[in-house]
Structure 1
């Protein structure tokens, strides 16, 4: 997994300028963009109990405190993706979780293989049965290329008493690069706003 660093984010926004469209208590509308182009531009809008970030890197709506700037403010530009993800507003958990993370396909396949190895070690199978079970895992689960495909195959897998009933595939997630970028954009944008409004 390649994670976006603060340095990479800062390089992306090094020419961005702040335009304040509205600044009325917790009612704010800010735009950050390069004067020469709109690449990776973004807006931060706040109103009571909400912060909305929109732009080239995506859209997220957060809710936690009356003034969301107090929730996100970080002079050293530290982010807290785990905790902040819990504050994302969405129509459903699945839509929300997909907005900031995705399954790590390599990790889930390695975990599925480990799960099978544990089952084989703990159960007496003939060599033929073990070979069939390993082949079925390889051609079904391990050959999957997409998130929905591997989840469906794990849920429906069964052979010689082996299944993935207690399999924790939900833990095989990684943050999307755009989500981390948006987290940095929020703390950086608030810091820029604070510098102009001391």
Structure 2
């Protein structure tokens, strides 16, 4: 039992772990994992991914999405996004989506991690954090997946593009836009850039 206690000493509340992480501290990792899950010390999120819940006054708190995704990818280079963030742009999107998108360099597809669903999308480039410019570009990239009237939303995005910082927006379009998105912003920014010339 002392070996199991030794393994427990390495666990930090709210942290997510892969089986391989825990194998460093246990020669019988599968047996120890089984015991830790049965006792409620660890919760299994998916194959080979576990979490040590943080205790709060309201019971065990789930780990942050960032923690879970970092453990799943074995990488800290990713960006968490959601179509819900488009609602902050003021372009007429109001729907709420139960979806978290993970832009990353390693995985592609939908994965259920615990009781949360994540849509992993492999991208060469993405910013370190969500910026207004990135969200405008990302919205146009993904406009076909939205529940709102596409033409109405794109019309409002074009109006916002006309008022945005053209340099910042142009940089975001070049770095993160697909071909269709680049053409859309070329049209949206052309009158302003012509006027400025």
TM-score (norm 2): 0.25
- Which structure ranks higher in relative contact order (CA pairs < 8 Å, sequence separation ≥ 6)? 1
